[in-house]
Amino acid sequence: MHALSPTISGPGRISYFGNFFGLGGQIIFEPLTPAPICVAYVGVAGAYSHSATLAYYPKCLTLPTENTHQLLQMVEQSNADVAILPVWCSGET
């Protein structure tokens, strides 16, 4: 078994040089960047629910929906990770 010699080759990036399976070479490990969270809300961009979504999840992907039924379906069907559910919605009757 051959020793691996790690080196840092960039921010959060580590390279290992060594004899891998008798072939030699280099393996580079880079940090995984998590996918941004997708948040569903009722209304259009600029609506109160949209503003609340961005206030609570500033780096999220937003998914506007037409009503609370569609909002809950987005999470149930895994189209959104989270839903901002208004207690009272002026856009629905």
Percent of the chain with pLDDT over 70: 59
Which of residues 31 and 68 earns the better pLDDT score?
68
Whether residue 45 is found in the same domain as residue 26:
no
| Residue 83 pLDDT grade (very low, low, confident, very high; cuts 50, 70, 90) | very high
The verdict on 44 and 60 lying in the same domain is yes
Please give the share of the chain, as a percent, with pLDDT higher than 90.
Answer: 49
**Whether residues 21 and 47 fall in one domain:** no
Domain around 19: 1-32
- In this predicted structure, the answer to whether residue 2 has a pLDDT above a threshold of 50 is no
**Across 10-19, 63-72, 77-86, least confident range:** 10-19
* Both structure tokens of 20: 């891998």
